[in-house]
A = this chain, B = another copy of it.
């Protein structure tokens, strides 16, 4: 297969065709600078008719801009986060597109940010959106050192990082408080990647609720860092011996595994179950479970909007907290 080069019409072409200068054409399009109403109309109608679109790359070069935002997605995560990230990405693309920006994708582990580095060093993007935060974050360190504008969906402990996040801490506090109020005191906490900031936030909200209720959480009931079905099951089976009366899952994948284990014939009942994230996995489940619901798409749109403000020289608040919703199901 080969493709015929259909060479694009340039600003010079339309200038020549109209017998005006490139400057004039440029001004008619951009709306900047004085220009006669008649000439502008003439130019505008010509380009509309001939389908001329200025080359954004050339425009960008002249303005030292790229009209690209780079979004970096983490490579490794569970499937529960998958659709969340996807939705968020779509939100970014939508908000960016509306403002004439495109999204350049970067994949990255904490260890390997080479893709991000390449994009930045090649001068391919005006700013970046970080979709995942780490407690020791190479992305943040790199971008800050380079002075590249960026925002983060999620929370960060690094000073000066513009963050857009759902209010995980409040949400988890509220959900935990609900359990406590139902008379559940020995709440087990299962799952969560401890290197992720979001886990810290959830944990904090959990403890907030205990503090507010003047109760004390039992660390023996914490089971962080569990991803495999087998280890989650083992944790759940150990619960009765620990006199747990409820279990709170860090995300919907964990919840899904816990649910399965609890349904086994030899599993004790009487445990109350809730999840810190109402993902796609929970939606498909027969047994409804109380969970916190977040809107990933609006997170993405807000993040992108904030980055564009930043690029536009506006001042943005360092932290934007988006609302959540708790879906109570018994």
Residues of A within 8 A of B (CB): 1-6, 8, 53-58, 60-61, 66-68, 75, 79, 82-83, 86, 89-90, 93-94, 97, 102-107, 115, 118-119, 121-124, 146-149, 160, 162, 229, 256, 260, 280, 284, 286, 310, 313, 315-316, 318
Copies in the complex: 2
Question: Could you tell me if A56 and B107 are in contact, using CB atoms closer than 8 angstroms?
Answer: no
Known contacts A61-B58, A82-B83; A102/B90 CB under 8 A: no
Residues of chain B contacted by A103 (CB below 8 angstroms): 104-105
A57 touches B124 (CB 8 A): yes
Q: Are the C-beta atoms of B119 and A102 separated by less than 8 Å?
A: yes
Docked CA distance A53–B4 (Å): 32
Given contacts A53-B122, A82-B86, A115-B97, contact A104 B147 (CB under 8 A): no
Contacts of A1 in B (CB 8 A): 160, 162, 310, 315-316, 318
Q: Which of B55, B68, B86, B280 contacts A86 (CB 8 A)?
A: B86
> Which residue of chain B has the shortest Cβ distance to A94 in the bound complex?
B107
Q: Cα distance A7–B61 when bound, in Å?
A: 14
Q: Cβ of A89 and Cβ of B61 under 8 Å apart?
A: no
Q: A75-B90, A94-B107, A260-B286 are in contact. List 7 more A-B contacts (CB 8 A).
A: A1-B318, A3-B147, A57-B66, A67-B122, A93-B106, A102-B104, A103-B105
**Chain B residues, Cβ within 8 Å of A4:** 147
Name A143's closest neighbour in chain B (CB-CB): B3
Whole-angstrom distance between the Cβ of A83 and the nearest chain B Cβ:
6
Chain B residues contacting A280 (CB-CB under 8 Å) are 79
Q: How far is the CB of A175 from chain B (nearest CB, A)?
A: 24
Residue on B nearest A313 in the bound complex, by CB: B2
A83 to B54, CA, bound (A): 37
The residue of chain B having its C-beta at the shortest distance from the C-beta of A58 within the complex is B61
A61–B53 touching, CB < 8 Å: no
Please report the C-alpha to C-alpha distance between residue A60 and residue B104 in the assembled complex, in whole angstroms.
16
**In the complex the two chains form, what is the Cα distance from A256 to B283 in whole Å?**
14
Q: Complex Cα distance A123/B66, Å?
A: 12
Enumerate chain B residues within 8 angstroms of A316, measured Cβ to Cβ: 1
Please give me the 5 A-B residue pairs with the lowest Cβ-Cβ distance, nearest first: A56-B122, A53-B121, A55-B123, A6-B147, A3-B147
**Closest B residue by C-beta to A150:** B3
Residues of B near A149 (CB, < 8 A) are 3
Q: What are 21 A-B contacts with C-beta separation under 8 Å?
A: A1-B160, A1-B315, A1-B316, A3-B147, A6-B147, A54-B122, A55-B122, A56-B122, A57-B124, A58-B61, A58-B123, A68-B104, A75-B90, A79-B83, A82-B83, A89-B105, A90-B107, A97-B115, A102-B104, A103-B104, A105-B105
List chain B residues, Cβ under 8 A from A79: 83, 280
Give Cα A118 to B94, complex, Å.
Answer: 12
Q: Does B6 contact A146, Cβ atoms closer than 8 Å?
A: yes
Most buried by B among A53, A55, A57, A260: A57
CB-CB nearest in chain B for A4: B147
The answer to whether residues A93 and B121 also contact, given A79-B280, A82-B83, A147-B6 and a CB cut-off of 8 A, is no
